[in-house]
Structures are given as C-alpha cells and as structure tokens.
Structure 1
Amino acid sequence: MQVKTANSLRGFVDDEHIRHLDPLDFDIRLPSLWEANAAGDVRALLAILNDILPSLETTKAMSLPESVATIRDLGIVMGSVKRHGVEPVVAIPELEAPLRAIGERTGMIPRDTIHHYIRWNPTGRRERMYTGEPMEKLLMASVRISLPRLSAAVDVCTALHTAEAGDLDFALAANELAALVGAMEDSIDTVIADVTPEFFARTIRPYFEDIRIGEDTFLGPAAAHVPLALVDLLLWASDHSDSEYLKFVHESAIYGLEHWRPLYQEWGNAPSLAARVIGALERGPKGEVPLAMHASVEALCRTLRSLMVFRGKHLTVARKAYADEVRLYELGSGGGSIGLLTNITSLVKGMWHMLRGPAPRNTRSAT
C-alpha cells in the first residue's frame, strides 16, 4: 500500500499535536543534552542517542505525527554529536535504517529540518534546543515569525501563478503576499536586537553542520531553508536571477515539504510575477492605469521592498558573523556565501527599480 506523505503533512497533520508528542521520552533528557553539549561530552551524547533510538520495526508502526516528532528529537541529538566532531551514523550505524524509513514515511530528508526545529518544536520548558540558552530561544523565536508566514506565502504564490496579471484577484493576492513577506523584516529585526553575531557564529552555527547518512550528506536545520527562495523564484528570480542563485534555490528544494518540490521546476520554467506585470503594463493602453493593475504593481513593489530591507539587514548581520576574527566556517548553515547574499541583495534591488519604472505614478482609473 502506498503511504501518503505530501498530502498528510500538508493537510492532515495538526502541528500542535506534533509539538505535544514525546515518542522517545526525550523531555526528561533535555537537561542532560544541554549539560553534555556544554561539556563537549561526546560519550554522553552518544549514550543519549543510543537510549532514544527506536528500532526499525517501531518506526514502521509509528503514526505520521509520531514519525515527525521522532526525527525532531533524534535530530537535535545528532546535530549535537556532529557539533563535537563525530558523525552520528558512523558512530551508531543502526541509526540509518530508522532515519531512512521515517524520511520515506514523511516525504522529507532522513534528518531534521528547519520545520522540525521550529514549526514542530514545542515551546516553553519542553522546547528542543541545543544549548538551553536564552539567546538560542530568541533566535528560534525570530524564525517562528517568518516560517509560518512564508509557508502561507507559498500558497498565495500558487494562486498568483494562475491568476491573470492585473486582474482584481491578482491584486488582492499580491497584497496578501506583500503582508506575509513583510514578516521577514520583523524576523531580522528580532535577530539584530537579541542575538549577537558572536553567539550565532561560535555557539549555534556549529550545531547546523551537515551529517552523512550512508552515501548521502544532508545539511542541518538552517533558517536559510525557510521557503523564501521558492517565493523569490516565482516573484522575480525565474527570469531575473543568475545561475549561482538559481543553483542555490534548486538545491534547497529537498529541505522543504514534499508538496513544494514540484513547484521549483514549474515556477522556475515560468515567467516571474514581476515580468508578467511589466509585460501587461507595456502591452496596455497608454494613459491611465486600471486600478487593479495599479494595485498589483504597488503590492509587488512593497513585497520587493520588504525583501530589499530584509536582505540588506541580513547581509550586515552575516558579514559580522562571518568576519575573519569571528567565524568558524566559510559558508552559512544553508550553504550560501557572503558573496551570494551580496548578489541576491543587488538583484532584488534591481528588480524593484525595474518594476517601478513602467508604471505611471498616481494615474489610475476605477476600472
């Protein structure tokens, strides 16, 4: 019998239910995890991992929510083991079969992702963290601002992809997109206010290292894997990006939800929303711009402006965290470089200027 994965994770799993689950009795082990990480005690971490490791038979009998919660809890310990220089699956080969079985069951990679670390992670005293430190909790809170809104933005983009550029339905959805993407500004402001570059670079970043599972290597639960790149792709990047960023976008696809993956190919081969609106403006009659078209342009411009502000602040934070005297790694936890961030920021700014150019200001009709 074929197991439904994408549809289940998309529509039939209660996120709050997953957060309440503790299928590996991991709640009582959290203080021990934090103590072991603080001490760099790999033996203690491996003991925790061995204690909570379910058998292959047990994982096959789990419900979908239990499978998600299991990967969440195994992942926080695996990331801890790797942070201290040991490949968890090499140290405990029995991990591989349950990890792969759960990955197949959920339609996701066979380790934890940003969705497990944030979306399906309980808050309060049960919150799964690597360090237990307040600054880690604040960093996680910043991603909780953006992740659900960007996930909703993907759904809005799906509607925009099939709507006629300049129609009222397009304008309404574009305004909704602008509001959702605007949350990225709040998210990065929280990081700037509450998390020091040194804490991220030296304390948290090492926990997001990739791990090997058999012949495959998978990155950790990086915030770079929120679906912003997918929104970028439809909004502007499908036809106004460069090969470096498009490569990053498509390599990020495996770290998202299964039902999003076909969208990377579909939207990557389609004209962007920005290009469609510019084309509609250029084909339209000269003079007054219809209200729905005006609203569409303004909403996309606001969306791009939010991305410009976010990218600019993110670039500033990243430069501090990856400065020579601070950094432990050349690349970000999602695999991107400072050069890539700089280029994306420039591309978004150029797209914003391009979109504002064709539309006459303050000339709109009610039709």
Structure 2
Amino acid sequence: MLKLLSYTENYSKIATLDPLGLDSFFQQLPDLNTSGRVDDIIQVFDESMNSLDFSWSTNSLIACQRDLGMLMSSIRFHSQETSCLSKEHQTIFIKLGETTDLPPRESSFHYGLWNPQNHRIRTFTSWDDEVELSRSVFLATTLLTQSLFYFLSVFPPMDKVVFDGVDSHGNLNINHAYSCLEKGLKKSLTSMANIRPQVFSQELRPFFDPIEIGGELYIGPGGGQIPLMIFDELLFGLSSFSSHYEKFVLEGIKFFPKPYREVFYSARNQKALLYRLDELPMEQQKYIEELAGQIIRFRQHHIHLAQKSFTPANIGKYTTGSAGYTMDVLHRILEATKQILKEVKHY
C-alpha cells in the first residue's frame, strides 16, 4: 500500500516532463497525421530515439516512452504494418521497457495519467473527442487509484482478514474509497456518452492497433488498463473464476506499473473478499457487498452504452476493442460478477 501511495505522488511529475523537447512538435502532430506527412514524423522520431539517454531518471524515461510510443503509433497508423520499427529501434524500446519496468510501448497510463492535461496534451488528432478520451482516462485512473489506496488501508491483501472492528479513521477511509470509486466509474460512463462512436472507431481507434516489438505483439491502450480490474480481483477473484476474464486481465495487467501489479498478484494468490465475508464484522460485510454492487451497476451501464455504439454504422472496420476482445467478453464479465455476488450476498 505504501508503494502505491509513493507511486501516486509521481503522477503529476511525469506529466510535467518533456525530456526529448517535443512539446512544440506534439502541437503539430495532429495536422501531420491528418495530412499524411509521415516522413516528418519519422524524422523527429529518429532524432528523438538518437537523443534518448538511459542515464535519465525513471520518470523522465517514462515520459520518453509516452512520447516515443505515440510517435511510433502514428507511424504504425500510416504504415498499416504491425512491424513498423527497425530492429535497432525495437531494441531501444525493449531496453526502455526493461528500464521503466513496463512493456515496450505506450499504455493507457501514458496516454491518460502521464499525459499533460493542459495546452501540452499529446493527441494523435485534432478531434475534441480525443481530448475528452485522454482526460477521462486521466480522471478515472486517478480516482480509482485513490479509491484503491483508501480501500487497501482498511482491507489490505493478506492471507487472513482479521478485524475486531474499524475505528472512525477506518470508516472515513471506507467512505472515501466508495466515493472515489463512484466518481471514477461515473466519469468513465459520462465520457463514453460524450465521445462520438464514429469519431472513436474511425478516427481514434486506428492509433491503438497492436505493434510488434522483438517478435511479440503488444496491444495498444485500452479499457483493460485501468485499476478497475484490481478491484475485480480483490472483491470477486475474477481471474480464477472465469477463463475468458483470466486471459483478458493477464494481458492487461502487464501494462500497469509495478505497485499495481503487486497488489493484483497478492489478491490473485488468495481468496477474494466476497468469499471471506464471514471473517469481517457485519458492517464491513455490507460495505463490501455494496462496493461490488456498484461495480456491477457500472458494467450494466457500460454494456448499454457500448451496444448503442457498437453498430455497423459506427464501428467501421473494427469488430473488437484495442485489446482484441469482442462485446461478448463484457457480457461474460458482467454475468460472472453477478453470479459471484448472488452466491455470497447476505443482504
């Protein structure tokens, strides 16, 4: 939990960094992508790769990964090839991933949380919908991380939950966890409703296609890279309950910073809280169930919005999300969570 807290303090720092001096170029990138001037993008990409210094701080290298990754994804968009990098550049991205302890391409964390949410924002296009998308990822990830921190302060992952009661400070943290989760999920739904489906699928989605690096295919930023999946594991133990979800979540969790991964795998190696309610005081049992219900209600609304957007007129050439999964996975996840809560519900 302390590692997670320490890590959250770095969020704003990473977004402020511009180690490669690309602030002004990113103001031009949307126009270059629209006009197809990929040679200009490649030139700046090559120059930036050559100026990369691995002696820089981890935060600076994460900012480099953000900027180089978005340039790489722009090049991939124009080339229409999953393998759009030279072997030399692939080697650099692999080393960058090893140094930052992250996969060798940009993720939702880079695109949202570590993306400057001001005039310096990095976008692929000039669409206002994309600014809304980046900011929604930023806010949702920030709020869900805050919720996760408060939640873990009361329910730390361990082999046995032992509570004789929760003091007033603990109850305050419970309320904070619930409130932050509610706000984060609500922001996600609001943004989904505000981002036009055709703009997303036809103008934005092509920049999130998979890219091959070092012989391995890496998915682009997507909804599977936000902290909700950690709550799924803590509360429901979904990765063990559903084989469909297990593949989805194990692919997505790789893109999380290490403190998140540690919480996830700690939760994965023990029984989920919903199956351990009898170890908790009655007040906390009810709280856990209410939190699970909130997540289920979010997924119901999420599917409703996704179905409205996922029509032939809107989706263009894409039949899956950026992680390669269809709407069927969303339905399976919803049904799994509903089934688990129904099995254990006390109220």
User: Corresponding residue for 1:285?
Assistant: none
The answer as to whether partners of 2:198 and 2:314 remain within 8 angstroms in 1 is yes
Structure 2 unaligned runs (5+)? none
User: Corresponding residue for 2:274?
Assistant: 274
In the TM superposition, 1:130-149 aligns within 5 A as: 130-149=124-143
Matched, 1:299 2:290: no
TM-score by length of 2: 0.87
TM-score by length of 1: 0.83
1:213 alignment partner AA: I
Judging changes above 3 Å, is the alpha-carbon distance between structure 1 residues 149 and 168 closer, same or farther for their aligned structure 2 residues?
A: farther
Return the alpha-carbon distance in structure 1 between the equivalents of residues 195 and 179 of structure 2: 25
The answer as to whether partners of 1:9 and 1:106 remain within 8 angstroms in 2 is no
Matched, 1:44 2:33: no
The answer as to whether partners of 1:211 and 1:217 remain within 8 angstroms in 2 is yes
The one-character-per-residue Cα deviations of 1:63-111 (angstroms, maximum 9, x if unpaired) are 1121011011111111112222344864444322321222111111111
User: Corresponding residue for 1:70?
Assistant: 64
The answer as to whether partners of 1:36 and 1:42 remain within 8 angstroms in 2 is yes
Return the alpha-carbon distance in structure 2 between the equivalents of residues 139 and 185 of structure 1: 14
Q: Paired residue for 1:104, among 98, 103, 127? A: 98
In the TM superposition, 1:201-280 aligns within 5 A as: 201-238=201-238, 241-277=241-277, 279-280=278-279
Judging changes above 3 Å, is the alpha-carbon distance between structure 1 residues 192 and 238 closer, same or farther for their aligned structure 2 residues?
A: closer
2:310 alignment partner AA: Y
The DSSP-based 3-state class of the residue aligned with 1:16 is helix
The DSSP-based 3-state class of the residue aligned with 1:54 is helix
User: Corresponding residue for 2:336?
Assistant: 347
User: Corresponding residue for 2:161?
Assistant: 164
1:326 alignment partner AA: N
The answer as to whether partners of 2:189 and 2:302 remain within 8 angstroms in 1 is no
Which has the higher mean CA deviation after the structures are superposed, 194-203 or 238-247? 238-247
Report the identity percentage: 24
The answer as to whether partners of 1:184 and 1:306 remain within 8 angstroms in 2 is no
The answer as to whether partners of 1:21 and 1:66 remain within 8 angstroms in 2 is yes
RMSD: 2.8
The one-character-per-residue Cα deviations of 1:261-294 (angstroms, maximum 9, x if unpaired) are 34444322311111100x44xxxxxxxxxxx733
Matched, 1:129 2:146: no
The DSSP-based 3-state class of the residue aligned with 1:306 is helix
Judging changes above 3 Å, is the alpha-carbon distance between structure 1 residues 85 and 168 closer, same or farther for their aligned structure 2 residues?
A: farther
The answer as to whether partners of 1:118 and 1:140 remain within 8 angstroms in 2 is yes
The answer as to whether partners of 1:113 and 1:220 remain within 8 angstroms in 2 is yes
After TM superposition, give the deviation of residue 245 of structure 1 in Å.
Answer: 0.8
Q: Paired residue for 1:314, among 302, 327, 330? A: 302
The DSSP-based 3-state class of the residue aligned with 1:326 is helix
User: Corresponding residue for 1:150?
Assistant: 144
Q: Report which of the two structures shows the higher radius of gyration computed on alpha carbons.
A: 1
Judging changes above 3 Å, is the alpha-carbon distance between structure 1 residues 167 and 41 closer, same or farther for their aligned structure 2 residues?
A: farther
Which has the higher mean CA deviation after the structures are superposed, 110-119 or 37-46? 37-46
Q: Paired residue for 1:337, among 326, 332, 339? A: 326
The answer as to whether partners of 2:237 and 2:267 remain within 8 angstroms in 1 is no
User: Corresponding residue for 1:283?
Assistant: none
The answer as to whether partners of 1:78 and 1:88 remain within 8 angstroms in 2 is no
Return the alpha-carbon distance in structure 2 between the equivalents of residues 239 and 94 of structure 1: 36
The answer as to whether partners of 1:151 and 1:227 remain within 8 angstroms in 2 is yes
Judging changes above 3 Å, is the alpha-carbon distance between structure 1 residues 321 and 95 closer, same or farther for their aligned structure 2 residues?
A: farther
The answer as to whether partners of 1:111 and 1:218 remain within 8 angstroms in 2 is yes
After TM superposition, give the deviation of residue 182 of structure 1 in Å.
Answer: 1.4
The answer as to whether partners of 2:239 and 2:249 remain within 8 angstroms in 1 is no
The answer as to whether partners of 1:175 and 1:299 remain within 8 angstroms in 2 is no
2:313 alignment partner AA: E
Judging changes above 3 Å, is the alpha-carbon distance between structure 1 residues 347 and 7 closer, same or farther for their aligned structure 2 residues?
A: closer
After TM superposition, give the deviation of residue 11 of structure 1 in Å.
Answer: 3.9
Return the alpha-carbon distance in structure 2 between the equivalents of residues 65 and 262 of structure 1: 19
The one-character-per-residue Cα deviations of 1:32-75 (angstroms, maximum 9, x if unpaired) are 211121123333332232232235xx422211121011011111
2:329 alignment partner AA: L
Judging changes above 3 Å, is the alpha-carbon distance between structure 1 residues 213 and 62 closer, same or farther for their aligned structure 2 residues?
A: same
The DSSP-based 3-state class of the residue aligned with 2:254 is helix
After TM superposition, give the deviation of residue 176 of structure 1 in Å.
Answer: 4.1
1:334 alignment partner AA: A
Return the alpha-carbon distance in structure 2 between the equivalents of residues 47 and 294 of structure 1: 62
Judging changes above 3 Å, is the alpha-carbon distance between structure 1 residues 206 and 354 closer, same or farther for their aligned structure 2 residues?
A: same
1:199 alignment partner AA: V
